[in-house]
Amino acid sequence: MSIRFGVVGTNWITDRFVQAGLENEEFILTAVYSRTEDKGQSFAAKYGGAAIYTNLEEMVSSSDVDAVYIASPNSMHAEQAIICLNHGKHVICEKPIASNSAELKRMIEAARNNDVLLMEALKSTFMPNFRIVKDNLYKIGRVRRYFASYCQYSSRYDAFRQGTVLNAFNPAYSNGSLMDLGIYCLYPMVALFGKPESVQATGVLLSSGVDGEGSMVMRYSDMDAVVMHSKIADSYLSAEIQGENGTIVIDKINQPYEVKIHYRDGTIEELTQPQVYESMYYEIEEFITLLKNGERESGINSHANSLAVAEVMEEARAQIGLRYTSDL
Contact status, residue 235 vs residue 147, Cβ threshold 8 Å: no
Please tell me the chain's helix, strand, coil percentages from 3-state DSSP, rounded to the nearest 5.
40, 25, 35
pLDDT value of position 231: 98
Cβ burial 48-85 (10 Å sphere, 16+ → b, else e): eebbbbeebeebbebeebbbbbbbbbbbbbbebbbbbb
Sign of CA dihedral 37, 122, 282, 280: positive
Nearest to 296 by CA among 68, 106, 95, 113: 113
pLDDT value of position 49: 79
Nearest to 75 by CA among 58, 52, 98, 102: 98
> Which residues, listed in sequence order, are joined to residue 226 by a DSSP beta bridge?
147, 217
pLDDT value of position 252: 97
Sign of CA dihedral 155, 158, 99, 179: positive
pLDDT value of position 32: 98
Tell me which amino acid residue 148 is.
Answer: A
Nearest to 94 by CA among 316, 320, 283, 227: 283
> Which residues, listed in sequence order, are joined to residue 204 by a DSSP beta bridge?
213
Sheet order of strands, 239-243 included? 198-205, 211-219, 224-230, 143-151, 239-243, 246-250, 259-263, 268-270
> Which residues, listed in sequence order, are joined to residue 208 by a DSSP beta bridge?
none
d(CA 19, CA 214): 33
Instruction: Return the biggest CA–CA distance within the chain.
Output: 62
Instruction: For the chain of 328 residues, list the mean pLDDT of each consecutive stretch of 10.
Output: 95 96 97 94 92 97 98 97 98 98 98 98 98 98 98 96 94 97 98 98 97 98 98 98 98 98 98 96 98 98 98 98 92
d(CA 120, CA 254): 15
pLDDT value of position 48: 86
Sheet order of strands, 27-33 included? 51-53, 27-33, 3-8, 67-70, 90-94, 118-121
